[in-house]
Amino acid sequence: MVSNGGGNSGSKIRWGELEEDDAEDLDFLLPPKQIIGPDEHGIKKIIEYKFNDDGNKVKITTTTRVRKLANTRLSKRAIERRTWPKFGDAVHEDVGSRLTMVSTEEILLERPRAPGSKAEDSKAVGDSMAQLVKGGAVLMVCRTCGKKGDHWTSKCPFKDLAQPAEGFVDKPPVAEANMPGGAVKGAYVPPSLRAGAERPAGTEMRRRNEENSVRVTNLSEDTREPDLLELFRPFGPVSRVYVAIDQKTGDSRGFGFINFVNKEDAQRAIDKLNGYGYDNLILRVEWAAPRTN
DNA sequence: GATGAGCGG
């Protein structure tokens, strides 16, 4: 069975457009439509050519008087302007057919950063911009240690040691003693942050766990993240897999990283998979050095 | 032989 799925492709004929198209096909044989006026008396002439039913060319002249709008008094200058010949793109336009014209002028837009320019430089600029004072307040304030203008929360030297500083969104608002049930008026507290919620010791509520990072090298070109996950998952919960990709070509750079939730699992994976034959290559699996920023 | 992108209040 053949179906064209309702699309416009294929040989499906749209009859509604056919007639129009046929008429247009012959138009180029005819002299262009001429519009004269309106003159100061409001007389407008339209001279156009058409093919009649017998296929003969006929000239049609239409003379109309343009009605003046009530309450409209045209100045002498305005009346005079209407007698001017059309110019520019408007010569092809009927009188009053369009109040605005589409400009075909090329306008070049300036981009703050042209593609291919040095990303390093602009990043450095961006970071220093973040430290700039806006309305008297320093923008970059670390939410972990509270230091201003030095580093972002994610780059805090204490991010793995300290609990977030007071007064930031990581902690629920302090309950007021006089509120029933210790609730803060109007403040929603997610279940995970409510009093008495399970918070296993040693578990940090970080956005991302960069701990227990394992590097795997000597991957074949076509190893992707799902493949790595499949390979490493049996050792325990994996929080992240990453395969380095060449930004230009999109090809794998032949190495990747796996983050384990538990250090022991990572160690077992290293022990088992280092030297393991995978896709006819010998994998190298070891602890990853901390990322250099 | 090789050590990741991106995200900002």
CB A112 within 8 A of CB A126: no
Would you say residue A80 has pLDDT above 50? yes
Task: Give the closest nucleotide to A165 (alpha carbon vs C1').
Answer: B9
**A209 CA → B6 C1’, Å:** 15
pLDDT digits (tens, 9 = 90+) for A3-54: 333 333 334 434 444 344 444 455 656 677 777 777 766 677 777 776 777 7
- List, chain by chain, residues whose CB lies under 7 Å from nucleic acid strand B: A 127, 130, 139-143, 152-155, 168, 208, 210, 213, 215, 217-219, 242, 244, 247, 253-255, 257, 259, 284, 286, 288-289, 291-293
**A212 CA → B4 C1’, Å:** 14
**A256 CA → B6 C1’, Å:** 17
Rounded to a whole number of angstroms, the distance between the first and last alpha carbons of chain A is: 59
Residue A138's DSSP bridge partners are: A133
A206 or A292, greater pLDDT = A292
CB A270 within 8 A of CB A214: yes
Tokens matching residue A137? 């307040």
A118 or A25, greater pLDDT = A25
Task: Give the closest nucleotide to A254 (alpha carbon vs C1').
Answer: B2
A82 or A283, greater pLDDT = A283
Domain boundary assignment for chain A = 15-92, 124-190, 213-287
**A251 CA → B8 C1’, Å:** 29
**A232 CA → B9 C1’, Å:** 35
pLDDT digits (tens, 9 = 90+) for A15-26: 444 344 444 455
Would you say residue A107 has pLDDT above 90? no
Task: Give the closest nucleotide to A139 (alpha carbon vs C1').
Answer: B9
Would you say residue A263 has pLDDT above 80? yes
- Exposed / middle / buried, residue A5 (Cβ in 10 Å: 0-12, 13-18, 19+): exposed
Specify the CATH number of the domain A213-287: 3.30.70.330
**A241 CA → B4 C1’, Å:** 10
Protein-contacted positions of strand B (CB under 7 Å): 1-9
**A222 CA → B1 C1’, Å:** 18
Q: How many CA atoms lie within 13 A of A87 on its CB side?
A: 5
